[in-house]
Amino acid sequence: MQDDDRRVGDETHFGYQRVRREDKARLVGEVFSNVAERYDLMNDLMSLGIHRLWKRATLARTGLRPGQRALDLAGGTGDLALRMSRQVGPSGEVVLADINAAMLARGRDRLIDRGVVDNVDYARVDAETLPFADNRFDCVTMAFGLRNVTDKQAALDEIHRVLAPGGRVLILEFSHPRHALMKKAYDAYSFTALPLMGRLVVDDADSYRYLAESIRMHPDQETLKGMMETAGLEACEYTDMTDGIVALHQGFKF
C-alpha cells in the first residue's frame, strides 16, 4: 500500500468508508469511547492472549534505563506505560498519552490501582501535533494506534521531533500476513469472529468491523518503514510476528 492514508482531496478512509478528513478523528473517537470499558477483555479474546507476547517483545527493545523519559502514544489502558514505569524507575518519567478521553481515563485508573502514581503523567494529545518540547523523550512507543491516525506521516514527523538524540521509536501495529493461507484464515477470522465477539461482549459489532477494516487499510511493512525514514528516523527495521499479522517497527534518532 503506497498511500499511507488513502487521501483523495479532502477525504480519507474510515475503515472501508470514505469520509471527510476532519471527521475521521471524531469517528475513531466514537469507536474507542464505545469499547473502552471492555477494551482489555476484548484484546485477550480477539488475540487469544497473544497480544501480551507482542507487547512483551516491544518492551524488551525499549532500551530504557533508570532516570530516562518515555512517551507511550495512543497508550490506551496502559499496558506499555505500566511496565516502562518500572524500567525508568522512580527518577524517570513516563507519559501515557491518548487522544481519547475514555481510554486515557481507563489507563489512569488502571495504573493507579496498580500503585503506579509517582513517575507516570497523563496527557490527552493528538499524535499529529504533540504538545511536547523537541528532543524530550528517550523512547517513544505506539502500540496498535498508528493505523487510526488520519495523517500518519505527520505523526511520525512529530515522533521524530520529540525524540531525543540517541532515542528510539517502537511502533507495534497490525500488518500484512506473509503467506496466502494465513491471510485467508486471518481475513475469515477478522470479518466474522471479531464483529460477533464485539456484539456479544460489548454490544457493538460495528466498532470491531471498523477495526478489522482499518487493519487492511494500514500500510504494509516496507511502506511503513519508508515512512519512518522519510520522517528522519534512521536504522529503521521491522520484525514480523505471527507471520506478519503484527509487525514491530523500530527506528532511531542520531
Given a cut of 70, is residue 195 above it in pLDDT?
A: yes
Compare 9 and 242 and report the one with higher pLDDT: 242
- For residue 10, what pLDDT is reported? 83
What's the pLDDT tens digit per position in 29-63?
Answer: 777 787 777 777 877 888 888 999 999 999 999 99
Express as a percent the part of the chain with pLDDT over 70. 96
- For residue 34, what pLDDT is reported? 75
Given a cut of 70, is residue 238 above it in pLDDT?
A: yes
195's CB contacts (< 8 A; 6+ apart) are 205, 206, 208, 209, 212
238, 127, 235: which is closest to 176 by C-alpha?
238
- For residue 128, what pLDDT is reported? 96
**Which CATH architecture group holds 11-178+210-252?**
3-Layer(aba) Sandwich (3.40)
Give the start-to-end residue ranges of the domains of the chain: 11-178+210-252
pLDDT band at 9 (very low <50, low <70, confident <90, very high): low
pLDDT band at 22 (very low <50, low <70, confident <90, very high): confident
What mean pLDDT, rounded, does the chain reach? 91
Query: Residue 213 corresponds to which cell in the numbers above?
Result: 477494516
What's the pLDDT tens digit per position in 139-172?
Answer: 999 999 999 999 999 999 999 999 999 999 999 9
